[in-house]
Amino acid sequence: MTAPVRTGRLSTLAAALVIARRDFGAILFSRTFIFFLIGPLFPLLVGGLAGGIGQAVQQSADRPVLGLAMQSHDVDAMLAARAALAPRLNGELPEFVVVKRLAPRARFDARAALKTPGLNLAAIASGSPTAPVLTGTGDRIGEWRGPLSLVAAQALGRGPERFPEVTLAGTATSTADRHHGQLSTAQGAQVLLFLLTMMLAGMVLSTLVEEKGNKIIEVLAAAIPMDAVFLGKLFAMLAVSLVGIGTWGLVGLAVRVAHGQALLELAAPAVGWPAFFALFVIYFSMAYLLLGSVFLAIGSLASTVREVQTLSMPVTMLQLLVFFFASYAMARPGSGIELAAQVIPFSSPFAMLARAATDGALWPHLIGIAWQVLCVAVFIRVGAALFRRRVMKSGGAGGKRQRRSLVELLRTARA
């Protein structure tokens, strides 16, 4: 005797979870998804190799040098000492370039001399061999402190037990420099968010068109609310996208560790790296859901892949304009343009992510995320209603269709 089958319809959230689980498993364990993961890694690998070779060539052709600004006889002694030590140290000493031969008791501004055009100066050694002063950025003078002391000792004819003490005069980073670095971080995050969103959101279109072709979408719509179908498919594709981003992120981290300090260093965002990474994941999810809900509505109206491409092209171009608008608003902090970019749903994730890089306050992000969630819910509801009205040609959930359980319908679809 068979057990009775429940005939009641699932709630919207429960039905959406069933759809999300079904689509997530079907996509994640398919061969197509494996090729989807591997595909972007090849251009990244080629680009990384090309960038590494180009950087090595650039470093060898444009190697930072240490400037000398001492009295004439001290400059000659330092140059001779470096020439004597260089063969034994296998090129580990920095290149020396004479910035200025000073007269006795002449005053010299090393910080201003670092900005001399035409010279690739990373630091300047001034003072005298007995009391050298090293001026430059903190990382560079820390690296060159020992070699400079060694050369100065050689110039004075001293042994290793009497190395002169090098005074460090680090150039501090100004507020303007820090803000410029944070803007660079914000811009890079916006570009990455845009590329990931546009590359991954397109998967929603093809999935819905395929299920429309084999009538599965009609079977699902007869069993559960269309809102649940849309919501489940969106979150399934979002989960698949996060798996792909996680995989690419691990590969990128491995490349970062392999290259050490050879890759680009970004300024720390105002909210800190942990909070910034968390906000990046959240805003990617919101941007994906917002754009994916529009793509779902487009896919529900299209019957073929060609129609999908025709209908999605305007949305893609508009999204590109939205990205440019958010980038422009980033350069106008506190203006009405920035506020508009944060309020408009499709530009809000990009504008709020840029704000996280330049402003340390977290409470605006709570408001922004709540607003984006509301917009996603509205877009899903409108897209589902449009699908029922234009495709299913039904205004209600039941109507003339017989209500059947989701389990029976899925069995029918598989058969």
**Residue 366 pLDDT > 90:** yes
Instruction: State the pLDDT confidence band at 276, using cuts at 50, 70 and 90.
Output: very high
Q: Two tokens at 135?
A: 């001026």
Three-state SS for 67?
Answer: strand
Q: Give the pLDDT band (50/70/90) at residue 408.
A: low
**Does residue 205 belong to any structural domain of this protein?**
yes
Residue 394 is assigned to a structural domain of this protein? yes
Q: Flag whether 70 is in a domain.
A: yes
Please check whether residues 307 and 186 belong to one and the same domain.
Answer: yes
338 Cβ contact partners less than 8 Å away, ≥ 6 residues apart: 329, 330, 332, 351
| pLDDT score at 221 | 66
**Same domain membership, residue 258 and residue 142:** no
69/34 same-domain check = no
**Neighbouring residues of 57: CB distance < 8 A, sequence distance ≥ 6:** none
Cβ neighbours, 10 Å, residue 94: 21
In a domain, 2, yes or no: no
In the predicted structure, residue 404 carries a pLDDT above the cut 70: no
CB 296 within 8 A of CB 383: yes
Based on the fold, state whether residues 400 and 282 are members of the same structural domain: yes
Percent of the chain whose pLDDT exceeds 70: 68
pLDDT digits (tens, 9 = 90+) for 291-300: 888 877 776 6
79 lies in a domain? yes
Report the predicted TM-score, pTM, of the whole model to 2 decimal places. Answer: 0.64
pLDDT for position 410: 47
Q: What is the pLDDT of residues 228-238, one digit of tens each?
A: 877 888 888 88
Instruction: Tell me the H-state helices in 260-304.
Output: 273-301
Answer with the one of 172, 195, 228 that is the final residue of a domain.
172
Total domains in the fold of the chain:
2
Are residues 295 and 355 located together in one domain of the fold?
Answer: yes
Residue 107 burial by CB count (10 A; 0-12/13-18/19+): exposed, middle or buried?
Answer: exposed
Boundary residue ending a domain (156, 172, 188)? 172
Q: 223 and 366: one domain?
A: yes
* Dihedral Cα 71, 73, 75, 78, nearest 10 deg: -130
Domain identity same for 335 and 395: yes
Band of pLDDT at residue 47, cut at 50, 70 and 90:
low
User: pLDDT tens-digit profile of 131-180?
Assistant: 898 887 766 777 888 888 888 888 888 765 578 888 877 665 544 456 66
Sequential DSSP letters for 149-181? HHHHHHHHT--GGGPPPPEEEE-PPPHHHHHHH
Residue 58 located in a structural domain: no
Q: Domain range for residue 400?
A: 12-41+176-414
Q: How confident is the model at residue 218 (pLDDT cuts 50, 70, 90)?
A: low
Q: Report which DSSP code applies to 261.
A: G
Torsion angles phi and psi, residue 280, rounded to 5? -60, -45
Cα distances (Å, whole numbers) of residue 318 to 112, 322, 323, 345: 47, 6, 9, 13
Query: Do 190 and 167 belong to one domain?
Result: no
Same structural domain for residues 226 and 128?
Answer: no
pLDDT at 397 over 60: no
Which residues does 406 contact at the CB level (< 8 Å), separation at least 6?
9, 10, 15, 18, 220, 223, 224
CB contact at 8 A, 169 and 114: no
Last residue of a domain, one of 172, 193, 225: 172
Cβ-Cβ contacts under 8 Å for 94 (sequence gap 6 or more): 64, 65, 66, 122, 123, 144, 147
- pLDDT tens column, 248-262: 878 777 766 766 544
Most confident of the following: 57-61, 216-220, 233-237: 233-237
pLDDT in tens, 308-348: 667 777 777 888 898 889 988 888 888 889 999 999 999 99
Tell me: pLDDT of 395 over 60: no
Phi, psi of 87 (to 5 degrees): -60, -35
The answer to whether residues 166 and 185 belong to one domain is no
Q: Is residue 87 part of a domain?
A: yes
Both 261 and 356 in one domain: the answer is yes
Is 4 a domain residue?
A: no
Residues 228, 168, single domain; the answer is no
d(CA 131, CA 49): 44
Phi, psi of 176 (to 5 degrees): -65, -40
